Structure 1
Amino acid sequence: MLTPHAPGNGQPGRRAVLATVGGLASMGSLAGCLGSDADALTVLSAGSLVTTFEDHVGPAFEAETGISLHGEYYGTNAVMRMVEDRTKHPDVIVSADSRLLRDRLYDEFTDWDVEFAANSVGIGYNPDTEFGQGLDANEAWYDLAPETDEGDIAIGDPDLDPLGYRAVQAFELAEAVHDLEGFREEMLRLVYKEPEEPQLLAGVESGSRAAAIIYRNMAVDHDIPFHEFPPEYNFADPGMAAQYAAAEYTTDEEGYTAEGRPVLYSATVNDEADEADGGHRLIQFLVDNPELLVEAGLTVGDRLPRPAGNVPERIEL
């Protein structure tokens, strides 16, 4: 196991095994669902939350309500597409980019969501690689990264996943902050674009890849070293939203233009849900149990939870 390093102000926790991408993950069910006829709930979620739901939220929610969660996890762009074309029919939809959810799903599939957690972006790395040793020696990541071999650093596929386009936006903002002419394009030439977000750290853990641009909670999930980007491009500070917005990315397939913005996870219940009542209960549970989210490496500050749209009255914020 890799030696843990402190990510930001905290140290990564235990290693958790990721679910297979898109795999249906059931945690069983308990008898006697309280206040709902459902005994199972389907959740279609951003891939960066697989361990959050499978190891933290899901078991606790089932213990309290008797409702088991059946989760599938993909890049958020892919999640939105699956809902839009009805390839998937989830009860609850969870996005790693609250604005993306509103832009893509409002009116036809929902008219509300609740932001419930935040995150930051940085580098998860293998300390046994030359790149990792450089980071441990406090060398600047933006000096080290261009010297890596092609494919040594992975990012999410920016056309499928907000984490991917946030990596591209981070390269662009770093270029401006550190006066690095051509840095964004150089990095895009070098990086490997991983289409399956839950597999983003597989190469880092095996030693076949030096690093990946990830969210902080993913470093906690995998118990690997994490080098957080500075506030100017870690997408963690709502007060720097205007600076983040200076970087944009337009996806190839949908032509959706995402501006840089703080990482905010949001959830809603599908208007076409089979188990809307259970879905409302899950979102209330997320709101009422921030300690589970913090345990999973996410951030829940004074600004959260934050509602948008016509949130049902039964959800108390």
Structure 2
Amino acid sequence: MIRDEGNGSGLRSRRSVLAATGGLVGTTAAGCLGSDGTSVNVLAAGSLAHTFEDHVGPAFEDETGVEIHGEYYGANAVMRMVEDRTKHPDVIVSADSTLLRDRLYGEFTDWDVEFATNSVGIGYNEETTFGRGLENGEPWHELMLATEAGDVSIGDPDLDPLGYRAVQAFGLAENEYEIEGLRDELLELVYQEPEEPQMMAGVESGSRAAAVVYHNMAVDHDMPFLEFPDAYNFAEPELADHYATVEFTTDEEGYTAEGRPVLYNATVNDEADDPDAGHDLVQFLADESDLLVEAGLTVGDSLPRPEGDLPEAINV
């Protein structure tokens, strides 16, 4: 199924900011997150950059008068920055709920709220040979095997759950289609992009034909999107056991991530400068499901869902 969805052309100025900063968005300088009483500082997964800058941020400020200052990186990098204290956010948001719990529970938090899901697929430029093939219904994996090296990008799997989910999707597709060696052949061809927003910029400019991305990222950029089948799109909680048949271990930290459904979660740092504003933002994410759906995310009946020792300020 090919989905070609978007939310208008009003994101162009935001896109130029993303392209210029290469993963850092917001009005704070890198490494200088600090509360001034009228803002809440967020360190979040890169796939949520447009969601926060164009949807959540303006709506939250309208409701509370508090501005969101955000920085956006691969979620593995986000966890490392918190652990190393190179960043000092009020709110931490992950694209992999288990990753946040594995890395931050005990020292930086003991609770979180899952607030949205997503699906994995291919965002593509329809003016390329690869894109035209998808438009004609040709199998994505056959088209990808015929591309030149670097024509298709994935996130860096050592930095970003989107990256290791791409690797895992290739492995599940290999099993699904019974094509021995498909995963490794695809990994030889794709470019691993360390700056998640640059994946979209490359496809938009035509310098790359496609990228393995989340659905909301394609929506953000008015980009055609081929959603992977349920067997490897990581969007179906009932397929959790199936997704878990593949895993990826990062080189730098040796963290092993099993395949699992995409689940975004948020928590407030125990070391937050403004925990009250942080709690307000997490509550806002839990309450504003329509806003998140508008941004291209999915909010199923089971969400929002709390985990751990929830503070009294959060009502989920």
Q: Shorter-chain TM-score category?
A: over 0.9
Q: Is the 8 A contact 2:5 2:223 kept in 1?
A: no
5 Å matches for 1:164-175?
164-175=163-174
Task: Quote the Cα distance in structure 2 between the aligned partners of 1:280 and 1:21.
Answer: 28
User: 1:242 and 1:274, CA in 2 relative to 1: closer, same or farther beyond 3 A?
Assistant: same
* Alpha-carbon distance, 1:12 to partner: 2.5
Give TM-score, length-normalised by structure 1. Answer: 0.93
Structure 1: stretches of 5+ with no match in the other structure: 28-35
5 Å matches for 1:78-227?
78-227=77-226
Moved more, 106-115 or 198-207: 198-207
Task: Quote the Cα distance in structure 2 between the aligned partners of 1:310 and 1:21.
Answer: 35
User: 1:149 and 1:24, CA in 2 relative to 1: closer, same or farther beyond 3 A?
Assistant: closer
Secondary structure of the equivalent of 2:280? helix
Task: Quote the Cα distance in structure 2 between the aligned partners of 1:267 and 1:130.
Answer: 39
* Alpha-carbon distance, 1:314 to partner: 1.8
Identity of aligned residues (%): 68
Q: Is the 8 A contact 1:106 1:112 kept in 2?
A: yes
CA displacement 1:246-302 (0-9 Å, x = unmatched): 110000000000000000000000000000000000011111111110010000110
5 Å matches for 1:1-317?
7=3, 11-15=5-9, 16=11, 17-18=14-15, 19=18, 20-26=21-27, 38-317=37-316
Moved more, 91-100 or 197-206: 197-206
Q: Is the 8 A contact 1:117 1:298 kept in 2?
A: yes
CA displacement 1:170-200 (0-9 Å, x = unmatched): 0000000011110010011000000001111
Task: Quote the Cα distance in structure 2 between the aligned partners of 1:13 and 1:78.
Answer: 29
CA displacement 1:64-99 (0-9 Å, x = unmatched): 111101000000000000000000000000000000
Secondary structure of the equivalent of 1:200? helix
Letter in 2 for 1:21: G
Task: Quote the Cα distance in structure 1 between the aligned partners of 2:61 and 2:27.
Answer: 11
* Alpha-carbon distance, 1:24 to partner: 4.7
Letter in 2 for 1:166: R
Task: Quote the Cα distance in structure 1 between the aligned partners of 2:231 and 2:312.
Answer: 37
Letter in 2 for 1:117: A
Counterpart of 2:31 in structure 1 is none
Higher helix content, 1 or 2 = 2
Secondary structure of the equivalent of 2:230? coil
Letter in 2 for 1:13: N
* Alpha-carbon distance, 1:37 to partner: 8.9
Task: Quote the Cα distance in structure 2 between the aligned partners of 1:23 and 1:261.
Answer: 27
Letter in 2 for 1:14: G
Letter in 2 for 1:281: D
Letter in 1 for 2:96: D
Task: Quote the Cα distance in structure 1 between the aligned partners of 2:118 and 2:63.
Answer: 26
* Alpha-carbon distance, 1:142 to partner: 1.2
Secondary structure of the equivalent of 1:301? coil
User: How many equivalent residue pairs?
Assistant: 303
Secondary structure of the equivalent of 2:157? coil
Structure 2: stretches of 5+ with no match in the other structure: 29-34
Task: Quote the Cα distance in structure 2 between the aligned partners of 1:11 and 1:206.
Answer: 18
Letter in 1 for 2:26: A
Q: Is the 8 A contact 2:25 2:49 kept in 1?
A: no
Task: Quote the Cα distance in structure 2 between the aligned partners of 1:196 and 1:271.
Answer: 28
Secondary structure of the equivalent of 1:201? helix
User: 1:253 and 1:121, CA in 2 relative to 1: closer, same or farther beyond 3 A?
Assistant: same
Letter in 2 for 1:204: V
Task: Quote the Cα distance in structure 2 between the aligned partners of 1:142 and 1:37.
Answer: 49
Task: Quote the Cα distance in structure 1 between the aligned partners of 2:88 and 2:130.
Answer: 42
Task: Quote the Cα distance in structure 2 between the aligned partners of 1:22 and 1:191.
Answer: 20
* Alpha-carbon distance, 1:6 to partner: 5.5
Q: Is the 8 A contact 1:150 1:192 kept in 2?
A: yes
Letter in 2 for 1:75: G
Letter in 1 for 2:217: M
Secondary structure of the equivalent of 1:25? coil
